[in-house]
């Protein structure tokens, strides 16, 4: 499976390159970054002392030539631009980008009519197992419990709450039959009054080099249930992305997520 990597000089890009190089069933087909990137012209494996023969370029089209799948964890504007080229070249895509506005999400979904892609706010297998656990917990704890979602990430992350936290909120809301847009509380300041029953609160922490921590708190009278996932390495996202890329090889078109990749939608709760 020939894989191209977007954002090759970033932390996630480097992790993806390392994962592809180390995977026995994958080869690096291309790597690209922005024109201002200082790594342009260097071997994509230089950062880890490996020679891949693939030079990092700012020419997206040339980087995608011959690739089966693009893995992209960049920014919404860039991702949509990359997908236009993928569609033209017949390249499938695994998208880990977060922070899409509603109109951008519609654009993203429109590409799936002509190509196959996996888009998920979090590619880690453990996180997606956590989504399923939250679905079960929300159905059991749908009365008498206040729900809060707390997430923490590194100080370079530009969107908040994280895509994973929002997806956790959506899973819970769907499980109890409400719309997150109606019950989500994303900011509290000053005299807010008592907590409104049935809301789902979000708290965001940004600091240091935290890879990604998410906790969902179900707070009842006399007890608390906490479901937590902590990421210690970006490699979990990379390995999940490769698993998603392999899944796409069976599909010519369509929009999928990691729940499809892992077969979790078939698990009845």
Which CATH number does 2-119+234-266 carry? 3.40.50.720
**At 269, is the pLDDT very low, low, confident or very high (cuts 50, 70, 90)?**
low
Given a cut of 70, whether residue 41 has pLDDT beyond it is yes
Which one is catalytic: 82, 153, 214, 229?
153
**pLDDT at residue 55, as a whole number:** 97
Q: Locate the domains of the chain by residue range.
A: 2-119+234-266, 125-231
| Catalytic annotation present for 229 | no
- Collapsed DSSP state (helix, strand, coil) of residue 95: strand
Where are the extended beta strands (E) located within 197-241? Answer: 200-206, 212-219, 224-231
Alpha-carbon dihedral sign for residues 255, 56, 81, 161? positive
Interval 61-86: pLDDT, tens: 999 999 999 999 999 999 999 999 99
Mean pLDDT within 204-222: 97
Q: Please tell me the predicted confidence (pLDDT) of residue 99.
A: 87
User: How many C-beta atoms lie closer than 10 Å to residue 1's C-beta?
Assistant: 17
Known active-site residue 23: no
Q: What is the CATH number of domain 125-231?
A: 3.30.360.10
Predicted confidence at residue 266, as pLDDT, reads 74
**Contact residues for 59 (Cβ-Cβ < 8 A; gap 6+):** 32
Which residues touch 164 (CB under 8 Å, ≥6 apart)? Answer: 98, 121, 122, 127, 151, 212, 214
91 has pLDDT over 80: yes
In this prediction, residue 265 carries a pLDDT of 80
**How confident is residue 194, by pLDDT bands cut at 50, 70 and 90?**
very high
pLDDT confidence bin for 267, thresholds 50/70/90:
low
User: Band of the pLDDT at 268, cuts 50, 70, 90?
Assistant: low
Return mean pLDDT, the chain: 95
pLDDT score recorded for residue 214: 97
Which is the catalytic residue, given 2, 132, 157, 251? 157
């Amino acid at each position: 499976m020939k894989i191209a990597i977007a954002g090759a000089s970033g932390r996630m890009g480097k992790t993806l390159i390392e994962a592809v190089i180390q995977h026995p069933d994958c080869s690096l087909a291309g790597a690209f970054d922005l024109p201002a990137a200082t790594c342009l012209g260097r071997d994509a494996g230089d950062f880890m002392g490996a020679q891949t023969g693939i030079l990092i370029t700012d020419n997206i089209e040339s980087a995608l030539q011959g690739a089966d799948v693009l893995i992209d964890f960049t920014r919404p504007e860039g991702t949509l631009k990359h997908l236009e080229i993928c569609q033209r070249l017949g390249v499938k895509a695994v998208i880990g980008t977060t922070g899409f506005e509603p109109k951008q999400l519609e654009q993203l979904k429109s590409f799936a009519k002509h190509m196959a892609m996996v888009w998920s706010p979090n590619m880690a297998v453990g996180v997606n197992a956590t989504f399923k656990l939250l679905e079960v917990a929300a159905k059991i704890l749908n009365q008498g419990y206040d729900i809060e979602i707390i997430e923490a990430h590194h100080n370079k992350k530009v969107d908040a709450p994280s895509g994973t936290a929002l997806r956790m909120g959506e899973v819970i809301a769907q499980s109890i039959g409400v719309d997150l847009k109606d019950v989500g509380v994303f900011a509290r300041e000053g005299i807010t009054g008592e907590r409104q029953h049935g809301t789902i609160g979000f708290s965001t922490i940004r600091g240091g080099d935290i890879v990604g921590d998410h906790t969902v708190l179900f707070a009842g009278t006399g007890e608390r249930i906490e479901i937590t996932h902590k990421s210690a390495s970006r490699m979990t996202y990379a390995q999940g992305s490769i698993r998603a890329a392999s899944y796409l090889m069976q599909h010519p078109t369509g929009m999928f997520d990691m729940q499809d990749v892992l077969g979790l939608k078939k698990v009845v709760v």
